[in-house]
Amino acid sequence: MTPRPNPIVAALYTLRDLDVDVAVLHGPSGCGFRAARLLEEDGMKVVTTSMSEEDLIFGASDKLIEVLNEVDELFSPRTIGVVGSCVSMIIGENVKKAIIDSGLKDKAFFVEIHGCMGANTRGAIETLKAAMEFGLIDEKEFQRQEKMLLLATEVESNSGMAKSKYTRPSRGAELKTVAEYIVNLLKDNKKIAVILNAKKETAYLFADVPLSINLASKKLGGSIINVGNLSTEVGLSRIKRYAEDIKKEFESNEISIDFISGGMDEYPIAGKNAISYLNDKDFDLLVAVGIPQALPLIDKESIAVTNGPREVHPLEDAGYKYVTVEIASHSTVMGTREIVLSELGEAIRKAAGIQ
């Protein structure tokens, strides 16, 4: 009953992650509108075939061929991903034949997906499978990605917003209260362990929380253990670039990462790695940022920072002292290559007197 992202949106985001130049959504003009506008800010062009009521009866292969040729003429793309929609897939449109008939089979491939196919991760898996068959990734990488996506689905079902039939959205704790709590611990010379366990581009926002806590510690006292899923050795090339950007910015602020818990697409297992690393460490507070629901529970005072209002109550039930929400995470990180200010990060800077 709780609203969840659908497979079509997941397919579009995964095409962006694969550095595909243009996504053609074979469906009505408004299909996937919000995701499309955000993804265009991130460099991938998204167009639709604008299927009409009449097309639901007679099909719209001719429109798809026409749009593919217009896209090729306008943008000269290296790769085009054609994504199905509820409309075109349920009427059985032969998209693969349309791609062949367009003369663009060497640069266009089809993601056979629609909104009624289950979890949003299904859209990502089908996209990666199509990319493998087209030659963008190898089978080994596909199998690794598929395993992570299935584990991510389990995380949400066991500990996240899909845990209950319906989860009320919440903005969580007041940011000023949480920021002052963290700052006062630093003033008392306490030790804080910060785990960045972020997903893809949202890491540009969530990384600001450990950045602000470290800057506050440099000014006020205390000490920090920094853990992050910032490996530059695994994942799609775009995702590895995100980790490189963030690590460089930490380094420029003289902040060192004590433990790399995994890659950004490994957040379903990186949280476990992070807690395992901290098992024999002494600290007074844990701050878990990004996907805290992927972390095993520990017997420590802890704060969770998420981007999902529907993640708040499950995290509170798990025992976190405070849960806060970065409500505008997706809209603020599109097109960036550097850490962006977070709401909690700004509150921490203000409480610590950092300009």
Q: Measured between alpha carbons, how far is 11 from 123 in angstroms, rounded to an integer?
A: 5
Q: Identify whether the C-beta of residue 91 lies closer than 8 Å to the C-beta of residue 56.
A: yes
- In this structure, the chain runs to a length of 355
Confidence at residue 327, expressed as pLDDT on a 0 to 100 scale: 83
Q: Measured between alpha carbons, how far is 318 from 68 in angstroms, rounded to an integer?
A: 49
Closest CA to 229 of 190, 179, 270, 171: 270
Q: Identify whether the C-beta of residue 82 lies closer than 8 Å to the C-beta of residue 45.
A: no
Residue 70's CB: how many other CB atoms inside 10 A? 12
DSSP code, position 338: S
Confidence at residue 27, expressed as pLDDT on a 0 to 100 scale: 93
pTM of the model: 0.92
Paired with 83 in beta bridges are 25, 111
H or E element, residue 273: helix 267-278
CA angle 203, 205, 211 (to 5 degrees): 95
User: pLDDT tens digits, the chain, 355 residues: what are they?
Assistant: 666 778 999 999 999 999 999 999 999 998 888 888 889 988 999 999 999 999 988 889 999 999 999 999 999 999 999 999 999 999 999 999 999 999 999 999 999 998 888 888 899 999 999 999 999 999 999 999 999 999 998 887 877 777 777 888 888 999 999 999 999 999 999 999 999 999 999 999 999 999 999 999 999 999 999 999 999 999 999 999 999 999 999 999 999 999 999 999 999 999 999 999 999 999 999 999 999 999 998 889 999 999 888 889 999 999 999 999 998 767 788 888 999 999 999 999 999 999 7
Closest CA to 345 of 337, 334, 331, 329: 329
Helix 7-17 to helix 237-252 angle (10° resolution) is 70
Cα 170–chain centre separation: 20
Q: Measured between alpha carbons, how far is 259 from 279 in angstroms, rounded to an integer?
A: 13
- H helices of 108-174, where? 120-134, 139-159
User: Residue 223: is it exposed, middle or buried by C-beta count within 10 angstroms (0-12/13-18/19+)?
Assistant: middle
Confidence at residue 2, expressed as pLDDT on a 0 to 100 scale: 65
Confidence at residue 209, expressed as pLDDT on a 0 to 100 scale: 98
